[in-house]
Structure 1
């Protein structure tokens, strides 16, 4: 395989840096020594984009063996994974949220968001993908060629979900597989990560979708309140353990909820007891709201910590009281969800914002944003509290360290 010459831009890159182009044309800068990646030129601070058609005689194809997009010069038979248009990349204005035009809204469906996209060669790992919004997210991506790992506690339900997709698109069966993940156990998360790392070298989309709602007071095998561990702590641990499988092309999407606005976590002096309360201080609705606030706090802090690596992290609200299995744990919530069902989003509409965060080209280079109805939305004041974000991170790390040490 031959290599193309470096970009002929007059702005010479520092030693050890390389230019790479994403599938949507954004130019990323990667330091081969430190493995740091960023969307702006390390010297000029400006961003670039490639535009236009491939040069005459060149064609793009997906190589099944290397699992990457390749370029072929049909005249010389030169093959490379470097886009030949990089030499002609042009500078573009600094990325600005205000310049992103709203293309979709509350009525948009996931498949509309994906219209015209070819996701062959992409890999998505989705927690809780066997039902509800998680399933609709997996289905929509799979129908567009994406490989899907169904990270689920119930493997039989996950396999049934895969078969449902295969009825629509038989070729999708080979691209979908289920792997056991019990978020109520940190040891199970460890085992899951070990299994994934044996079979996967890279993850394009990590979609943290799973959660629980309306539970009576219960504890996990690790001794923590279940809503907190399943909805936040195990996802936190999972993400950090999978870090070696991410790079500047990866997007991490955290499914939160507008319920985070009713959370009662203290802005100062957060304690483990606030996060995982005892039975006498437990109320299922507040536990859910607090967990959803934790989702956004985690996403915001992660976005800051991994900003230099070029990894995009987003959180979102899928929709109000969508008809999923989330309400299955208490008859009263099932009744309420049934009553409002005619007035809420369909599963396709509810999955649209997740799909948008994972795949929208215009979000390349952005991070740390919260979305509702496929567009930016301001989260609560608590969610934007940097001290609270840092306190949650510290407590989460300490809890995991203590539990792992105890379990071993």
Structure 2
């Protein structure tokens, strides 16, 4: 399908215009806020049947009313289930129920995540961002893989924050490294991109592909762990650096613009084009040289986030840490 006309300002409705998703089943983590709500809304509006995970069912019921309204109007559906991505027992309980039901998926979107909280550990003892953003999704997609049919896709939500740092396979939990919330976030987003590379390598032989996406900078609940004044100061500083490098003023995206790349890569773009790649602005991201000087808002992907050897090493490390076969 020709999608060359999409760009940074394209919305979910524009990307999916004319697409019939009736009969397609989609699994999305984190559908009670921001990008998750908009992604689910756009999918059900085109007839898809969506299963979305949330941590708080009461909150999600009100937050997803717009999704249910869209589903009722189109014939799509939304089912909400509780899952705490930080708790591997919770992830396993949900995936076990999915496997037991035996219904297949055409699209899995690893959308949920946390950003830059103070140091903490998951119920399983892992550093909070690595344990949630990487290990939680690793267990999820590893266990859902048998339900993904030929032609299915996995979309991992990464971020241009991956440029804050590569994964540290020797000290993933900051046991010996001084904890920095943004470094930990960057490592986890690199980890998400590498999981897509590893998953794609494992499943492309059967027609199942995977990609990671940077949705852009969107002001959502992802910033809930950061004091407003701290976030505003950091944002202003990053924008000053962005301008100092000769860039045009940066524009924050709306949720509809941010979720567009997820749906472009997950539904619209050619599977061979996006397989194992990192996408942004409804396109394949340009590679950055290791020594390229860029701002936090610049486009492009660091080579380490797409390194197939690194991806395989991370996959094996995740399997060891979580005890997954």
TM-score normalised by the shorter chain: which range applies? 0.7 to 0.9
Match for 1:299 among 196, 202, 206?
196
Contact 1:312 1:365 in 2 (8 A): no
Give the distance between the partners of 1:278 and 1:365, measured in 2 at CA: 39
After TM superposition, list the pairs within 5 Å mapping 1:364-375 onto structure 2. 367-375=275-283
**Pair 1:325-2:233 in alignment:** no
**Pair 1:159-2:55 in alignment:** no
1:248 counterpart SS class: strand
**Pair 1:232-2:134 in alignment:** yes
Which position in structure 1 is the counterpart of 2:8? 106
RMSD: 2.4
**Pair 1:316-2:218 in alignment:** no
Q: Deviation digits for residues 320-344 of structure 1, max 9, x if unmatched?
A: 2x11001111214543588789930
Shift of 1:249: 1.7
Contact 2:195 2:314 in 1 (8 A): yes
Matched residue count: 299
Contact 2:31 2:64 in 1 (8 A): no
Give the distance between the partners of 1:114 and 1:337, measured in 2 at CA: 34
Match for 1:145 among 47, 71, 91?
47
Distance of aligned partners of 1:166 and 1:254 in 2 relative to their CA distance in 1, 3 Å threshold: same
Q: Larger C-alpha radius of gyration, 1 or 2?
A: 1
**Pair 1:191-2:89 in alignment:** no
After TM superposition, list the pairs within 5 Å mapping 1:218-257 onto structure 2. 218-257=120-159
Shift of 1:129: 1.1
Give the distance between the partners of 1:319 and 1:291, measured in 2 at CA: 17
Contact 1:327 1:333 in 2 (8 A): no
2:317 counterpart SS class: helix
Match for 1:357 among 265, 272, 280?
265
Structure having the higher helix fraction is 2
Distance of aligned partners of 1:263 and 1:366 in 2 relative to their CA distance in 1, 3 Å threshold: closer
Which position in structure 2 is the counterpart of 1:387? 309
Match for 1:398 among 304, 320, 323?
320
Contact 2:153 2:266 in 1 (8 A): yes
TM-score (norm 1): 0.68
- Stretches of structure 1 that go unaligned for 5 or more consecutive residues are 1-23, 25-99
Contact 1:323 1:338 in 2 (8 A): no
- Name segments (4+ residues, structure 1) moved above 6 Å: 337-342
- Stretches of structure 2 that go unaligned for 5 or more consecutive residues are 240-248, 288-300
2:151 counterpart SS class: coil
Contact 2:105 2:152 in 1 (8 A): yes
